[in-house]
């Protein structure tokens, strides 16, 4: 990679989108082999998570992520997609008169994304890195050469969670390292080529962090204003993860801070006891429902893992189709979970509800901002600060879940709120 300035526009997560590559260029001489499908498809933890995984299991290739496909695949790449990404840098935002899409709304959204984008692209020009989205964070100090003697892994886990919360995490869970959820290979958008993941299988644990997104901003989705909640979620995540990883390094252990890069967040979060898969393909937590962002740290620190938690999400989703009905492009399936994926941008070979990423992303580009309607309409999208919300969650996890569904329809206002009213709060 040369330091030559790339030509194009900056993507939502800060990387440059430029001319399409027809195929993966060959790996440079001496590069380590790409990691492809060398893992066992079943693990004992599946008994606790309920994951049903096909013997045809395949690692996910980050090249197929719909955001990466917009670089190399003409079925996803479009002028609208390029404009969508360009809009994260003023003055490319195509502000308009519609509620939630004014210059002020884009100004706030883009400011919320600014730190994350700036941080992600610090090493974009020279090294082609897109940290937090395609690559792990590397802006760390040197740490300590020897390992601090740690005692009981349960006590160490308790301390790590205390430190993670000090650095801003709303929830923290720990699971054992699981190579099934690490990408087969990652994607370099600058060079439009695949490359090996940064993390190797010497890691023993994953610390998974949850950051809650702002409730009132999310109520205005779809709007440019609402995407401020996403930008802030990433920005807060970056601070938490970088700080926690540095603490672990300062104790002499390995730590790789990661957001969307390197591996799949949701199965790790489920294994770390932070929630369950919903029909909309998102993690549903007991504390914030699906209104969250997920970060993770791969480490070799000895830690006691958490146990997967159930509170009845699967059974509730079986009778609730609010997200599938509310999705404007019908990207969320009705019916039963399946091992099939609608296209290569979704992870198949594990039984779950799977969103059509192509349809979803196309809607985002048509709106010129992100969409989270499926989060807004989800009955689990509550603050849980009131007794009623906590009672509702309990009820939704019992055989009386149909009553919980009726109560949600009668009593919770899941309609879109005006962005202008958010500004006047």
List residues binding ligand SF4 (CB under 6 A): 278-280, 316-317, 320-323, 327, 329, 331-332, 355, 360, 363, 371-374, 377-380
Which CB, 101 or 380, lies closer to ligand SF4?
380
Q: Least distance (Å) from ligand SF4 to the CB of residue 416?
A: 12
Which CB, 9 or 373, lies closer to ligand SF4?
373
Q: Least distance (Å) from ligand SF4 to the CB of residue 356?
A: 8
Q: Least distance (Å) from ligand SF4 to the CB of residue 284?
A: 6
Burial of 164 (0-12, 13-18, 19+ CB in 10 A): buried
Which CB, 208 or 331, lies closer to ligand SF4?
331
- CA count, 13 A, side-chain hemisphere, 40: 6
Structure token pair of residue 404 = 């919980």
Residue for token pair 């440019």? 224
Q: Least distance (Å) from ligand SF4 to the CB of residue 67?
A: 13
Q: Least distance (Å) from ligand SF4 to the CB of residue 414?
A: 9
Q: Least distance (Å) from ligand SF4 to the CB of residue 278?
A: 3
Displacement of CA 194 from its chain's centroid (Å): 20
Q: Least distance (Å) from ligand SF4 to the CB of residue 38?
A: 32
Cα–Cα dist 401/193, whole Å: 48
Q: What radius of gyration do the chain's Cα atoms show?
A: 21
CA geometry: angle 166, 168, 170, nearest 5 deg: 105
Cα–Cα dist 11/71, whole Å: 10
Residue for token pair 């890691």? 203
Q: Least distance (Å) from ligand SF4 to the CB of residue 98?
A: 17
Which CB, 180 or 376, lies closer to ligand SF4?
376
Cα–Cα dist 241/234, whole Å: 10
Which CB, 106 or 380, lies closer to ligand SF4?
380
CA geometry: angle 294, 265, 381, nearest 5 deg: 50
Which CB, 275 or 305, lies closer to ligand SF4?
275
Show the DSSP H helices in 320-386 as ranges: 322-326, 357-367, 373-377
Which CB, 72 or 316, lies closer to ligand SF4?
316
Which CB, 82 or 284, lies closer to ligand SF4?
284
Q: Contacts for 139-143 with beta carbons within 8 Å, 24 or more apart?
A: 139/242, 140/242, 140/245, 140/246, 140/249, 141/246, 141/249, 141/250, 142/249, 143/246, 143/249, 143/250, 143/251, 143/252
């Amino acid at each position: 990679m040369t330091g030559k300035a790339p030509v194009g526009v900056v993507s939502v997560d800060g990387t440059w989108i430029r001319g399409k590559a027809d195929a993966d260029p060959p790996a440079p001489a001496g590069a380590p082999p790409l990691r492809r499908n060398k893992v066992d498809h079943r693990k004992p933890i599946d008994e606790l998570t309920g994951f049903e995984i096909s013997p045809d299991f395949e690692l996910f290739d980050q090249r197929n992520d719909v955001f990466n496909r917009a670089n190399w695949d003409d079925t996803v790449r479009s002028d609208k997609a390029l404009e969508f990404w360009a809009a994260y840098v003023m003055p490319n935002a195509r502000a308009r008169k519609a509620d939630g899409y004014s210059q002020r709304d884009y100004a706030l959204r883009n400011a919320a994304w600014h730190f994350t984008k700036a941080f992600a692209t610090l090493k974009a020009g020279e090294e082609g890195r897109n940290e937090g989205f395609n690559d792990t964070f590397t802006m760390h100090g040197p740490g300590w050469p020897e390992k601090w003697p740690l005692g009981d892994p349960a006590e160490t886990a308790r301390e790590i969670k205390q430190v993670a919360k000090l650095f801003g995490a709303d929830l923290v869970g720990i699971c054992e390292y699981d190579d099934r959820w690490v990408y087969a290979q990652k994607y370099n958008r600058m060079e439009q080529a695949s490359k090996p993941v940064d993390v190797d299988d010497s890691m023993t644990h994953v610390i998974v962090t949850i950051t809650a997104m702002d409730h009132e901003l999310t109520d205005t989705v779809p709007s440019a204003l609402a995407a401020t909640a996403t930008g802030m979620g990433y920005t807060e995540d970056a601070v938490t993860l970088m700080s926690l990883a540095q603490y672990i390094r300062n104790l002499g252990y390995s730590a790789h801070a990661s957001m969307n890069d390197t591996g799949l967040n949701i199965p790790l979060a489920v294994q770390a006891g932070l929630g369950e898969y919903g029909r909309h393909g998102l993690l549903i937590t007991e504390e914030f429902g699906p209104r969250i962002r997920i970060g993770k740290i791969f480490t070799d620190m000895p830690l006691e893992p958490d146990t997967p938690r159930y509170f009845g999400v699967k059974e509730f989703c079986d009778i609730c189709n609010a997200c599938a009905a509310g999705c404007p492009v019908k990207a969320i399936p009705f019916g039963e979970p399946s091992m099939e994926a609608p296209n290569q941008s979704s992870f198949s070979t594990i039984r779950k509800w799977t969103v059509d990423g192509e349809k979803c992303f196309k809607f985002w580009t048509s709106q010129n901002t992100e969409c989270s309607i499926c989060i807004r309409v989800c009955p689990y999208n509550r603050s849980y600060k009131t007794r009623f919300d906590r009672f509702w969650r309990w009820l939704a996890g019992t055989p009386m879940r149909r009553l919980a569904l009726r109560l949600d329809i009668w009593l919770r206002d899941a309609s879109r709120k005006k962005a202008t009213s958010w500004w006047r709060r």
